[in-house]
Amino acid sequence: MLTIPRRQAGLTALYLGIFATIWFSVPAAHQPLRALLMVASVASLATAAVGGVVAARSRPAAEAVRDRAADRRYVLIVLAEFAAAGVGAALLAAAGLAEYAPVLVCGVVGLHFLPLTPVLKDPRLRLLGGAMCLVALAGLVTALASAVPAGLVVGVGAGLLLWAYALLALVTVLRPPQHGGR
């Protein structure tokens, strides 16, 4: 079983909980879906808050040495992600295709988890990245083949994936230790 440091799990829940909240706000939906998205958004924000508390109460291990090269790679990956998503969304808007911006952003977010996997030492990020890319593809196909907007599919799908991953990070560090017997 994979174990990640308590502080890293808290930060993961914090960041992904916030981003899940943002994704849940993307779709323009009618009731009752709108109400469900609001509930999911609040729950994601609560997950982020718990993650923040876990991170704040967890101290890096005394023997843990800060890996400045990994920190630089992390920052570069995130900057490249924001640049690609921002420039891509602007180009889509300029071309009159702004409704496909959530698809592009979701795909870029999914792809950015792949180089982050070795930096954060969490191989499960590959699965999250692949699932995010599949959500982006599902949003594109749905929008091209029906009247359902891409933003609805992508907003709900990306929000659920990020929230689930944030919860997974918390569960791995907050569950009671398992003992061999009953």
- Residue ranges per structural domain of the chain: 6-58+67-174
- DSSP per residue, 65-96: PP-HHHHHHHHHHHHHHHHHHHHHHHHHHHTT
Q: Is the pLDDT of residue 176 over 80?
A: no
Q: Is the pLDDT of residue 28 over 90?
A: no
Question: Which residues, 6+ apart, have CB-to-CB distance to 143 below 8 Å?
Answer: 99, 100, 103, 149, 150, 153
What predicted TM-score, i.e. pTM, was given to this entire model?
A: 0.90
- DSSP per residue, 144-180: HHSSS-HHHHHHHHHHHHHHHHHHHHHHHHHSPPP-S
Which of the four pLDDT bands, split at 50, 70 and 90, describes residue 30? confident
- CA distances (Å), 18 to each of 31, 68, 87, 168, in order? 23, 25, 22, 15
Mean pLDDT, residues 126-141 taken together: 98
Query: What pLDDT is recorded for position 169?
Result: 94
Give 16 or 66, the one with higher predicted confidence.
16
Query: What pLDDT is recorded for position 82?
Result: 96
> Lowest-pLDDT range, 101-105, 125-129, 170-174?
170-174
List pLDDT tens digits, range 43-72.
999 999 999 999 999 876 544 567 788 889
User: In the chain, what percentage of residues exceed pLDDT 70?
Assistant: 91
